[in-house]
Amino acid sequence: MAIRADITEEQRAGIPIKFDPRMHYYPLDWVMGLHEDPSAMRRLASSSHPLIRRSVARARHLPTDVVERLARDDDRVVQLFLAESCDDAPTDMLLRVWQWWTGSLSAPDRPHGHPNFPRRDLLRHADDPNARMRQLALDDTASTAKLVEEFSQDSNEEVRHRAASDPRLSPASAVRLLDDPHEHVRYAAALHPRLPARVLVRLLRDADTGQTAERHPALPVPVMEQMLQRIQHPAPATPGP
């Protein structure tokens, strides 16, 4: 009843609602159909019902005042949907969402891949106690290979994973991270473009790491296929005289 399109916001505010913020809700089709109407978005962005505000936040573009209102919404899923869907989402809100959201199947690169996500003035986070913020220092255009090396030995596995994915990581550190206690760090290290060829061959020969190593970007596909064929089906030994 409270999410019907044919009632006023005053009527909606007077209807008791049962809303569990932990549950998954689909956006309302009738709100989605009004995304191109700035007046409707202004009106609905102040709705008392969080599902309506969430549906507004799914718009690709919104008026500046609507974006500012939704970016401060008490329902953090409104902020999340704004980060995932709206190209006008503000930088400060994207950084807030980044601290608790790692990406969804529908928008795996958001908020980090959002066009408004900062790429400068991030070195100030290099010593941040929050590992999610700390790793952002490597995205700064002024970051250095030295910082990559430092982060490859960070106490947090997510920061080490970020370092293991950085092309500036030294070959020696890439090899060291192959023994990291966390699988996703080892996986990133195994695909590092500066991994020495001798180490890559060893990974290809190992049953536990072969499938990962065969995806290494330095190996042309035909070479990978030939190497795997030889490893998995070695030629029979030639009988002696």
* Residues 214-227, mean pLDDT to the nearest whole number: 69
* CB of 55 closer than 8 Å to CB of 82: no
* 70 neighbors 90 (Cβ within 8 angstroms): no
Q: Which pLDDT does position 7 carry in this prediction? A: 92
The pLDDT, as a whole number, for residue 218 is 77
For residue 173 the two structure tokens come to 């550190």
76 found inside a domain: yes
Residues 82 and 33 placed together within one structural domain of the fold: yes
Q: Which residues contact 38 (CB under 8 A, 6 or more apart)?
A: 62, 63, 66
Asked whether residue 203 falls in the same domain as residue 137, the answer is yes
The answer to whether residues 28 and 72 belong to one domain is yes
113: in domain = no
CA atoms within 13 A on the CB side of 94: 21
Query: pLDDT at residue 219 above 80?
Result: no
Which long-range contacts (C-beta less than 8 Å, at least 24 apart) are formed by 216-224?
A: 216/190, 216/191, 217/191, 217/193, 218/193
pLDDT > 90 fraction of the chain, expressed in percent and rounded = 72
Render pLDDT for 179-191 as a digit per residue (tens, 0 to 9).
Answer: 999 999 999 999 9
Q: Judge if 138 and 88 occupy the same domain.
A: no
> Does residue 85 share a domain with residue 31?
yes
Range of the domain at 214: 123-221
According to the 3-state scheme, what is the secondary structure of 140-189?
A: CCCCCHHHHHHHCCCCCHHHHHHHHCCCCCCHHHHHHHHHCCCHHHHHHH
Instruction: Report the Cα–Cα distance between both ends of the chain, in Å, rounded.
Output: 90
Q: Is 83 found in the same domain as 15? A: yes
Higher pLDDT, 71 or 235: 71
Name every residue whose Cβ is closer than 8 Å to that of residue 113 and which is 6 or more positions away in sequence.
none
Q: How far is CA 90 from CA 35, 42, 45, 79, 117, in A?
A: 18, 17, 16, 10, 8
Q: Is residue 228 part of a domain?
A: no
Same domain, 128 and 213: yes
Tally the domains of the chain. 2
Q: Is residue 114 part of a domain?
A: no
Considering the domain architecture, whether residues 54 and 89 belong to the same structural domain is answered as: yes
Q: Where is the domain boundary, 98, 115, 131?
A: 98
In a domain, 29, yes or no: yes
Question: Residues 5-64: pLDDT tens digits?
Answer: 999 988 998 998 888 877 888 999 999 999 999 999 999 999 999 999 999 999 999 999
The beta-carbon contacts of 176-182 under 8 Å, at least 24 apart in sequence, are: 176/152, 177/152, 178/203, 181/157, 182/157
